[in-house]
């Protein structure tokens, strides 16, 4: 009985017409299903469902609808005039009348009306303006902000996509209105999600196509054949569509890092097909007929291709162990994509390679003879001086890796977008004029009705947060770390003639507090809804303290701020008798944790990928030694690239944090093909030098073509408006290039040095 690779090769070639028809049907079905593929547009989907940080965030969303607030900001040098307040009132009313807006609050919404501008003569006006500074007005008294609370998603919109589009329409309507005013802009989480995901959805459709076309241009140059340009592009497109179809069928949703999915599938597909093309060309040059040459190619590369796809699945799949939602989902998606590449190769390559007689042979690239001679000279040098080359490589790697000590995390979320994007412009205005773009919250439990004792405790907590939470500035001096702290206690203090300490001490004082709370609910319902919430899940009452801090601070400073606030909140509102105490939450807190979680997960997922790939290769090669030899030249470039980032002072973002496991899965493919070619030649009786030379001319040449095509293809990612995608593309280019050097230099050096312990074989 023929071996499995021979039988599979004959079956694929014999049924190539049926398989091509199946590919067309599958592509059509996948295109139809992929229309239902959606983006996960909520920020809490970026975290593991078991993450304890989501508990208070979801409580805040239930009690206050905090994730549905849009700030509409504009500049008015005459704000503190009757005309300025009337203009602000008109804008506030126009915003509140827009579809999808539940309420709108501004400085013009106070019970004082136009008298709010009399800060010189009215203590109450002065207190209210001071209270609203950093919330609805800048300290410059010319930057006005309207706090727009979006209405809950309509029950008639039965899909998340429809709900997201409805909110996007609301955000667009607010932005259109504000564009007619000086420096008019909008900001807030709904704006960030609307703009961010629109950009990512556009990137996802464009970048995959661009990457494939750029890579295709390189392949056209490399093989000078229209047919052998169509073959890899057909595999890429079918793999992309079937992957998207499977994702839609399994109801997986695209996330913030999913724009890289198309590029990753393109990488795997082109790398796989290029090895097939190079081997097919070699068989044709040996005089074999096309069908026989293709059968021989599939037979020789059957196990290497299966092994390479398996390592891709393991490398990508290791990301599923991440606690960060987008990374977890990306791991699953890319693993599915790698499997779809294998299916697409089986369905399309036999038919496209053998249909008709036109342009049936891939040709040599212009100047490929120079490449051939260069590879031969490289092998000769490696065989002559393996120890010296290895020692030099170790020195370069060691020096580079030292730079990892200085790697730091980028926690400024605005740095995820280009400087000229609307998101950055909006956050710049808030950062400079409203005291900081970092918006977060403290939630504290309250009694029902709210009494003077609770408000006094909240007031004491607010005071401690203002006074005790500090950061060290560039001059080494300590300054307040929070630019705004506002609670319902501050509102009551601003409008009450008595202090909270006096109000809490008597029954009549508590009655006055209860009365004041009712008046607040009646006269400032929008502000009341922001500061006083009801959690329907357990029928509890919560008070909210609004915090604002600078967004553009180091990760260490942000961690320090959050830790200081948590410590003070726990001291003032500790949990009691099974009831929760005070909680610290908000987008500022979640995003500060996000990239740090990705970094901590990176080495865990990398270890899983390396361990899983090592185990697979040890079984496949029947040699733990060969498995280790295959891993080393592919792991080292990852450490070198990350070390160079540290030396250069570059910060690590979401794109950087995934590079280790992904690159390991990608680069080791070439090692498998190289070692398989090397062992086949040893089994044929060739010497170590001759076996390395053949491996260089076959697998090595395919590596060069595929890496060149992929690096050029990845340049498409550099045009993205989402900086983590740009970082991922740039680092992928570097690690792919490093992997190529590792497999052309370090791998053969190791094989030459350890050849006495390497057994010949097929894989």
Which domains are present in the chain? 4-41+195-412+593-757 (1.20.1640.10), 64-194 (no CATH), 438-549+553-585 (no CATH)
Residues 6+ away with beta carbon under 8 Å from 617: 307, 311, 626, 627, 630, 631, 668, 672
**Structure tokens given for 603:** 């080495």
**Spatial distance between the Cα atoms of 493 and 485, rounded to a whole number of angstroms:** 14
**Spatial distance between the Cα atoms of 515 and 508, rounded to a whole number of angstroms:** 10
Strand 478-480, strand 438-446: pairing: unpaired
Place of tokens 């990488």: 267
Helix 82-96 and helix 160-178, axial crossing angle in degrees, nearest 10: 160
**Structure tokens given for 286:** 């040996």
As a three-state string, the secondary structure of 55-103 is: HHHHHHHHHHCHHHEEEEEEECCCCCCHHHHHHHHHHHHHHHCCCCEEE
**What 3-state DSSP class applies to 396?**
helix
**Spatial distance between the Cα atoms of 232 and 220, rounded to a whole number of angstroms:** 11
Q: Say if CB 455 and CB 159 are below 8 A apart.
A: no
**Spatial distance between the Cα atoms of 479 and 553, rounded to a whole number of angstroms:** 14
**Spatial distance between the Cα atoms of 181 and 218, rounded to a whole number of angstroms:** 49
Give the number of other CB atoms < 10 A from CB of residue 549: 24
Please list the residues that pair with 313 across neighbouring strands: none
Say what the pLDDT of residue 157 is.
Answer: 47
Backbone phi, psi, residue 540, to 5°: -100, 155
According to DSSP H, which parts of 355-421 are helical?
Answer: 368-384, 386-402
Please list the residues that pair with 146 across neighbouring strands: 72
Hey, which bits of 136-190 come out as E strands?
143-150, 185-187
Backbone phi, psi, residue 328, to 5°: -55, -50
Say what the pLDDT of residue 178 is.
Answer: 92
**Spatial distance between the Cα atoms of 339 and 421, rounded to a whole number of angstroms:** 37
Q: Exposure pattern of 656-676 as b/e (b: 16+ CB <10 Å)? A: bbbbbbbbbbbbbbbbbbbbb
**What 3-state DSSP class applies to 287?**
coil
Mean pLDDT, contiguous 10-residue spans, the chain (763 residues) = 88 95 95 81 66 83 74 91 92 91 84 82 83 86 88 54 67 91 84 76 70 82 90 92 91 74 84 91 91 94 92 88 80 92 96 89 84 87 87 89 81 76 80 81 86 83 93 82 88 65 57 70 74 87 90 82 94 85 86 71 83 90 89 87 86 74 79 88 86 88 86 81 82 87 90 78 56
Q: Say if CB 13 and CB 337 are below 8 A apart.
A: no
pTM, entire model: 0.79
Say what the pLDDT of residue 720 is.
Answer: 80
According to DSSP H, which parts of 499-651 are helical?
Answer: 500-504, 507-523, 525-531, 555-572, 587-621, 624-648
Say what the pLDDT of residue 571 is.
Answer: 94
Q: Which of 462, 492, 485 is nearest to 502 (CA)?
A: 492
Residue 689 host element (H or E): helix 688-695
**Structure tokens given for 174:** 């607010």
Say what the pLDDT of residue 154 is.
Answer: 53
**Spatial distance between the Cα atoms of 334 and 317, rounded to a whole number of angstroms:** 7
Please list the residues that pair with 395 across neighbouring strands: none
Residues 6+ away with beta carbon under 8 Å from 748: 379, 382, 674, 692, 695, 696
Q: Which of 55, 43, 255, 68 is nearest to 154 (CA)?
A: 68
60: region left, alpha or beta (phi > 0 left; psi from -120 to 50 alpha): alpha
Say what the pLDDT of residue 49 is.
Answer: 64
Q: Say if CB 755 and CB 689 are below 8 A apart.
A: no
Say what the pLDDT of residue 343 is.
Answer: 96
**Spatial distance between the Cα atoms of 304 and 674, rounded to a whole number of angstroms:** 9
Give the number of other CB atoms < 10 A from CB of residue 214: 18
**What 3-state DSSP class applies to 366?**
coil
As a three-state string, the secondary structure of 496-514 is: CCCCHHHHHCCHHHHHHHH
DSSP for residue 536:
T
**Spatial distance between the Cα atoms of 385 and 740, rounded to a whole number of angstroms:** 20
Q: Say if CB 18 and CB 339 are below 8 A apart.
A: no
Please list the residues that pair with 722 across neighbouring strands: 417
List the strands of the sheet with 69-75, edge to edge: 101-105, 143-150, 69-75, 185-187
Q: How far is CA 114 from CA 75, 85, 146, 744, in A?
A: 18, 6, 16, 76
**Spatial distance between the Cα atoms of 609 and 630, rounded to a whole number of angstroms:** 13
Say what the pLDDT of residue 419 is.
Answer: 79
Helix 261-285 and helix 325-354, axial crossing angle in degrees, nearest 10: 30
Q: Say if CB 214 and CB 712 are below 8 A apart.
A: yes
Give the number of other CB atoms < 10 A from CB of residue 757: 10
Q: How far is CA 30 from CA 239, 250, 254, 336, 593, in A?
A: 10, 12, 16, 14, 37
Backbone phi, psi, residue 421, to 5°: -80, 155
Q: Is the peptide bond before 58 cis (omega within 30 degrees of 0)?
A: no
Q: How far is CA 753 from CA 266, 376, 552, 629, 750, in A?
A: 35, 18, 51, 11, 5
């Amino acid at each position: 009985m023929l071996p499995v690779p021979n039988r599979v090769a004959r079956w694929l070639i014999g049924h190539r017409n049926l398989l091509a028809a199946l590919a067309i049907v599958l592509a059509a079905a996948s295109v139809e299903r992929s229309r239902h593929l959606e983006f996960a547009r909520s920020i809490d989907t970026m975290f593991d469902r078991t993450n304890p940080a989501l508990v208070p965030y979801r409580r805040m969303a239930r009690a206050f609808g905090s994730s549905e607030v849009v700030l509409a900001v504009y500049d008015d040098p005459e704000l503190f005039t009757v005309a300025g307040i009337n203009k602000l009132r008109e804008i506030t009313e126009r915003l509140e009348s827009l579809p999808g807006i539940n309420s709108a609050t501004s400085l013009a919404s106070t019970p004082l009306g136009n008298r709010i501008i009399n800060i010189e003569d009215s203590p109450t006006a002065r207190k209210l303006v001071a209270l609203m500074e950093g919330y609805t007005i800048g300290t410059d008294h010319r930057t006005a902000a309207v706090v727009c609370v979006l209405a809950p998603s309509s029950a008639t919109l039965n899909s998340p996509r429809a709900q997201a589009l409805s909110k996007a329409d609301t955000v667009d309507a607010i932005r259109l209105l504000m564009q007619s005013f000086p420096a008019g802009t909008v900001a807030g989480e709904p704006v960030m999600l609307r703009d961010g995901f629109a950009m990512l959805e556009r990137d996802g459709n464009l970048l995959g196509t661009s990457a494939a076309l750029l890579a295709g241009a390189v392949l056209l140059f490399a093989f000078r054949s229209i047919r052998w340009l169509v073959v890899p592009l057909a595999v890429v497109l079918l793999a992309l569509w079937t992957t998207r179809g499977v994702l839609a069928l399994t109801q997986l949703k695209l996330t913030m890092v999913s724009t890289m999915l198309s590029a990753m599938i393109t990488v795997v597909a082109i790398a796989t097909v290029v090895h097939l093309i190079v081997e097919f060309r070699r068989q044709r040059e040996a005089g074999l007929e096309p069908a026989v040459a293709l059968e021989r190619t599939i037979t020789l590369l059957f196990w290497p291709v299966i092994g390479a796809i398996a390592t891709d699945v393991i490398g990508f799949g290791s990301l599923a162990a991440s606690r960060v939602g987008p990374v977890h989902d990306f791991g699953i998606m890319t693993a599915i994509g790698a499997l779809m590449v294998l299916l697409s190769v089986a369905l399309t390559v036999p038919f496209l390679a053998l249909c008709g007689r036109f342009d049936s042979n891939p040709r040599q690239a212009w100047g490929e003879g120079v490449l051939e001679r260069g590879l031969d000279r490289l092998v000769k040098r490696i065989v002559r001086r393996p120890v010296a080359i290895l020692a030099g490589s170790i020195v370069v790697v060691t020096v580079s890796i030292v730079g990892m000590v200085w790697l730091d995390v980028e926690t400024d979320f605005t740095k995820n977008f280009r400087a000229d994007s609307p998101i950055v412009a909006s956050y710049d205005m808030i950062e400079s004029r409203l005291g900081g773009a970092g918006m977060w919250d403290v939630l504290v439990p309250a009694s029902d009705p709210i009494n003077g004792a609770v408000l006094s405790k909240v007031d004491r907590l607010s005071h401690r947060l203002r006074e005790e939470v500090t950061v060290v500035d560039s001059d080494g001096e300590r300054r307040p770390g929070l630019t705004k702290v506002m609670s319902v206690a501050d509102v009551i203090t601003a409008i009450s003639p008595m202090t909270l300490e006096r109000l809490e001490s008597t029954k009549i004082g508590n009655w006055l507090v209860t009365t004041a709370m009712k008046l607040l609910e009646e006269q400032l319902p929008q502000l009341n809804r922001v500061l006083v919430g009801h959690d329907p899940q357990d029928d509890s009452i919560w008070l909210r303290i609004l915090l604002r801090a600078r967004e553009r601070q180091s990760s260490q400073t942000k961690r320090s701020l959050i830790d200081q606030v948590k410590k003070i909140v726990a001291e003032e509102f500790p949990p009691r008798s099974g009831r929760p105490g005070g909680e610290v939450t908000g987008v500022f807190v979640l995003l500060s944790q996000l990239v740090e979680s990705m970094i901590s997960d990176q080495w865990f997922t990398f270890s899983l990928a390396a361990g899983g790939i090592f185990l697979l290769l040890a079984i496949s090669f029947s040699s733990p030694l060969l498995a280790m030899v295959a891993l080393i030249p592919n792991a080292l470039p990852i450490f070198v690239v990350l070390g160079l980032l540290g030396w250069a002072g570059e910060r690590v973002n979401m794109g950087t944090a995934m590079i280790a496991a992904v690159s390991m899965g990608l680069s080791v493919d070439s090692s498998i093909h190289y070692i398989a070619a090397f062992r086949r030649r040893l089994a044929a009786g060739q010497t170590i030098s001759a076996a390395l030379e053949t491996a260089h001319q076959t697998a090595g040449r395919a590596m060069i073509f595929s890496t060149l095509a992929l690096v050029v293809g990845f340049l498409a990612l550099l045009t993205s408006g989402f900086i983590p995608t740009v970082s991922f593309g740039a680092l992928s280019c570097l690690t792919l290039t490093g992997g190529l050097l590792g497999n052309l230099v370090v791998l053969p050096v190791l094989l030459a040095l350890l050849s006495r312990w390497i057994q010949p074989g097929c894989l």
